[in-house]
């Protein structure tokens, strides 16, 4: 094991890892748990360098009844996984600290968000009317005329007045 860079602390029987032990692997992973005949066997957790952990009931090195926990404490659940599902892209720590989910409140830094005039776009510093190619501030005062490049960028990237947020989408 030392030649491969591995290290083991724990019980040994017939020259093989057996009983409870800690097995350290070169990339920084560590197994803590039961071993038998040199294999993970019984209850144990594989701790990963990123801070996550894979807890399982091992049978001759094969995991079952496994659960992965991310470094921030979020547990992966294959059956009821609703984290980062397309409708709610918050990190687990954001969910825990009360960060707002996506939806109308997250389309702008303003709370409540500005109401965009019909047919116009919210371009960050005001509203853009694609028919007149004029940008006005949020108090409707003239800011500038948009050139072709800005016009295309706004049409491609900015929220339009008639864009609808489906509030019926599930959130955790």
| pLDDT tens digits, 61-76 | 999 888 998 888 888 8
In a domain, 92, yes or no: no
Q: What is the pLDDT of residue 145?
A: 96
In a domain, 11, yes or no: yes
Q: What is the pLDDT of residue 1?
A: 52
Domain end position, chosen among 42, 69, 96: 69
Q: Which residue carries 């009983």 as its tokens?
A: 19
Same domain, 9 and 65: yes
* CA 154 – CA 65 distance, rounded (Å): 50
In contact, 102 and 95? CB cutoff 8 Å: no
Q: In what order do the strands lie in the sheet with 30-36?
A: 7-13, 16-24, 30-36, 39-47, 53-59, 62-69
Tell me how many domains the chain contains.
2
Low-confidence ranges of the chain (pLDDT < 70): 1-3, 82-89, 100-113, 162-172
Domain span at residue 44? 2-69
In a domain, 169, yes or no: no
In a domain, 84, yes or no: no
In a domain, 152, yes or no: yes
* CA 151 – CA 107 distance, rounded (Å): 20
Summarize pLDDT for 14-37 with one digit per residue, the tens.
989 999 999 998 888 999 999 999
Q: Checking DSSP bridges between strand 159-160 and strand 121-122, what pairing results, if any? A: antiparallel
């Amino acid at each position: 094991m030392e030649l491969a860079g591995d290290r083991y602390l724990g019980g040994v029987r017939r020259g093989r890892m057996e009983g409870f032990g800690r097995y350290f692997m070169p990339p920084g992973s560590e197994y803590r748990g039961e071993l038998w005949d040199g294999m993970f066997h019984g209850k144990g957790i594989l701790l990963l360098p990123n801070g996550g952990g894979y807890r399982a009931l091992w049978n001759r090195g094969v995991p079952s009844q496994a659960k992965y926990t991310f470094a921030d404490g979020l547990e992966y659940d294959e059956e009821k996984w609703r984290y980062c599902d397309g409708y709610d892209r918050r990190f687990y720590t954001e969910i825990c600290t009360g960060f707002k989910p996506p939806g109308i409140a997250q389309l702008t830094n303003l709370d409540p968000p500005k109401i965009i005039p019909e047919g116009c776009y919210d371009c960050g510093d005001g509203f853009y009317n694609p028919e007149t190619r004029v940008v006005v501030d949020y108090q409707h005062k003239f800011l500038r005329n948009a050139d072709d490049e800005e016009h295309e960028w706004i049409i491609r990237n900015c929220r339009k007045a008639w864009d609808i947020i489906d509030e019926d989408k599930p959130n955790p």
